[in-house]
Structure formats: structure tokens, C-alpha cells
Amino acid sequence: MGEHRHYRHFVLAVITFGGMLNIADRLILSIMLEDIKHAFALSDTQIGLITGFAFTVLYVVCGLPIAWLADRMSRPLIIALAIATWSLMTACCGLATGFWTFFLARMGVGIGESGSGPAGTSLLTQTFKGHELGRAMGIYFLGPTLGTAAGLILGGVLAHAVGWRMTFLLLGIPGILFALFVFLTVQEPGGRPIPDKVSLGKGLIAWFTGIRALCANRVFLAGSLAFGCMIVTGYGFATWLAAIMLRGFHVSTADVGFYLGLAFVLGGIPGPLLGGYLTDWLVQRDGRWRAWLPAIATLGCLPIYLAALQSTNFWTFLGLFSCGYLVFLTAQAPTVSLIQLAVRPDERAMAMAVAMIFNNLIGQALGLFLIGYASTSLTPLFGTKALTWAVIDVSAAFAVPAVLFYLVAASGMARGPLKMMNGPGSSQA
């Protein structure tokens, strides 16, 4: 029993570290945006396309088929292949010669990262019991937080020391080695068999049937749309905040990377843990707190972020941002556990893939593009402050529908303590 418990914690640690690499490789770009913008003479609109749309295109195209396989095949194998792919394509970003080659490399990163999240969260949901899942997801979301900090700190130091091209190469290579480690050490629970040729031949029909069933699940659909809208704030700040600091406080790339990474750590470590523990405590009283808590956090972080962006003191700015980030991240664990528990066990990887498509289409492709476009449009009026207003305005615009979708999800959930989804057609969580 002790060995089983230790192995579960090992799997959680591995999946969490994979999430850390995922975000580090994805957001390393943010600390080097200004260098890349000047190297290729890009506008903020083009930067918005590279950071959001390029990544999302193949993430969306590949996410659902890979998730369908993850519900039927070895999830550790899929996770390992995903990590190896995005790490290789991150390294290729350092070889880009202009807008379009960089765009294509970012599309490759999207292919790899589309496979790890659905397979990883599905594996964790099967590994941990319902009353432990909030805490497990809270720990899992430390990975993206630490990845954001690591990407900013290492990216800032390396970009300052060896340039942005070599930085991409140096940060892409370790992921390939970690992919091999995952393949060799993590096992599929229960040793699920690979489907035979007949089941694979009928896979396309099953695939569309599964998606249709998920979209008919009100709790799942509303929760996924809420996730996509609320994450606009997360991606917006994670992607553009370094550029805001460079333009507003006139500090070096290395300093921005270090201090912003520190701010992400100070707010990012307690945030997911607090959200996870609060969720596990609150849902014992009423399962609808899986929707109510993130709705409160989505709105609650915005005034703090606004105060941070209006500050002219560097340290006040960092302190307020850390507080806002802490509040924002309390939404992550309840949101993902809501999505996972709203569907049957054999739908969970596909469910997470669909949720991540909303996450990336709305949060990255649309949100980051709108921020870049708004910044370009507002520059004649606000100058260097245009990007600041673009980030907060777009974040606030998407927070309102996020809260409404959370309330819709809550309205479809049963009153009283948490119940897990095990039967077909259920819409409680």
C-alpha cells in the first residue's frame, strides 16, 4: 500500500514537471518578444499572431485525435512523444529566419503540447480518488506556475548572455531527455490493451459521437467555455507583461526575467495549492463550489491587476501583480476538476482536449491577437501605455462571459456534496 502511494506521488511529480516544461517552452517567447520584434521588424499584431494563432492552429487540429488515442492507448507513451515533439520544435524556433519560419516552428510546438495535457490530467484523475483530486490538481498546476517562472528567469539570463536564438536551442534539448525518462518509468494503470483493427476502423464514427456527447453535457460545455474565457487573463499577462515592464520601467531583459519570474513564483505557488485545498473543503458542503470559486477568482483578480498596471513604482507593481496572480490561480484546480468529474472516466482525455481547444482558441489565438491588435490601434492615443490598457481591457471583456458560463455550469450541478460522474448521460459534478 505504501509503495502504491509513493508511486502515485511519483506519477504526480512527473506529470507536474512535464507541465512545467510545457509552459516554460511555450512562454519562453514572452521574455524575448522585444528582441524578436526588433530582429524581424514585427508589429504587435504580428507578435500576437505568433504567440497565439500560430500555436493554436495545430494544437486544435491535433488535440482531439491525440486525446481520442489517449482514452484507448498508452497515455505515458503519448505524453513522452508529446514532450519530445514540442521540445524539438522549441529548439527549431532558434533557427527561424523571419516571421513565417518562426510561425511554422510555433505551429510545431502546438502539435506537441496538444497531447500532454489531456493524457496527463486523465492519468491523474484515474490515479487519485475524488476527495483527493482537488489537491492533486492544485499540485499539478504548480507545474505551469514554476514553468512560467523558470522560462522567464532562465530566458532572461540566457537571452542576455547568449542571445534569443541560442536560448531556444538550450531550453529545447532537455525536454527530449525527459521524454525518454517518462517513457521508461511511468506505467499505464491497469495495462489497457491497444484497440484492435476493427475498433480503429470505426474510430472516426466513435470520435464524432464522443464529441457530440460532450457538447450535449451542459456542465462540461459551460465549464470548458468558462475556462477558455477566464484564461485570456492568464495568457495575456504571462505573454505581454515582460514587454510592458521593458517599455514602462526601462530595465534590462535579464532583470525583467528574474524579478517577473520571482513574482510568478510568489503568487503562483500558493495560488494553485490554495485553490485545490479550498475546493476539496468546499465541495464537501456543496459540489457547485467547483464553479462558484473560480467565478469569484476570475473577477477578484482584476482590480488587483489594474492597480498593479497603474503603479509607477517597480516594487509596488511586482507586489500587486503577485497578489493578483495568486487570486487568479485559485480558479485553476476547481475548473479542471469540474471538467474532469462532469464526464465518464472513458471520456476524460477527450474532455480535457475539447476544454483545451476552447482554452487555446479563446485564450491564446483570440485573446492574444486582440491584445496585440488593440495595442497597435491604441498606440497613437496612449503611446507606450497602449499595451497596458490593451491587456487589462481585453482581460476584463472576457471575464464577464467567464463568470456567466461558470454560473451556467453550477446551475446544472446537483446541490449538496460532490458526486463523481461514472454513468453515461450524467451532467452533475
Is the pLDDT at 423 greater than 50, yes or no?
Answer: no
Distance (Å) of CA 352 to CA 75, 349, 357, 415: 13, 5, 8, 24
Q: In this predicted structure, which of 41-55, 277-291, 308-322, 399-413 has the lowest mean pLDDT?
A: 41-55
**383: alpha, beta or left? (left if phi > 0; alpha if psi -120 to 50):** left
Higher pLDDT, 161 or 348: 161
> Which pLDDT band, with edges at 50, 70 and 90, does 421 fall under?
very low
* Mean predicted confidence (pLDDT) in 173-198: 76
Counting DSSP H helices and E strands in the chain, the numbers are: 20, 0
Give dist(CA 134, CA 136) in Å, integer. 5
> Which pLDDT band, with edges at 50, 70 and 90, does 292 fall under?
very high
* Mean predicted confidence (pLDDT) in 402-425: 72
Q: In this predicted structure, which of 176-185, 186-195, 268-277, 386-395 has the lowest mean pLDDT?
A: 186-195
Contact 66, 353 (CB under 8 A): yes
For residue 405 the three cell numbers come to 458560463
| pLDDT score, position 394 | 95
| pLDDT score, position 24 | 85
For residue 112 the three cell numbers come to 506537441
Per residue in 25-70, pLDDT tens? Answer: 877 888 888 889 888 988 888 888 887 777 787 777 887 788 778 7
Is the pLDDT at 420 greater than 70, yes or no?
Answer: no
Higher pLDDT, 328 or 210: 328
Phi/psi for 162 (5° steps) reads -125, 0
Is the pLDDT at 195 greater than 60, yes or no?
Answer: no
Give dist(CA 380, CA 241) in Å, integer. 20
Is the pLDDT at 296 greater than 90, yes or no?
Answer: yes
| pLDDT score, position 357 | 83
Phi/psi for 156 (5° steps) reads -65, -45
| pLDDT score, position 206 | 67
Q: Where in the chain are the domains? A: 2-411
User: Which of 153, 61, 42 lies closest to 360 in space, CA to CA?
Assistant: 61
User: Which of 55, 142, 65 lies closest to 90 in space, CA to CA?
Assistant: 55
| pLDDT score, position 428 | 47
Cβ neighbours, 10 Å, residue 420: 19
Predicted TM-score of the model (pTM): 0.74
- When mean pLDDT is compared over 227-236, 258-267, 351-360, the highest value belongs to 227-236
> Which pLDDT band, with edges at 50, 70 and 90, does 413 fall under?
confident
Domain 2-411 part of CATH 2.60.120.10? no
Contact 166, 28 (CB under 8 A): no
Give dist(CA 51, CA 72) in Å, integer. 32
Query: Cell 523571419 belongs to which residue?
Result: 98
Higher pLDDT, 180 or 284: 180
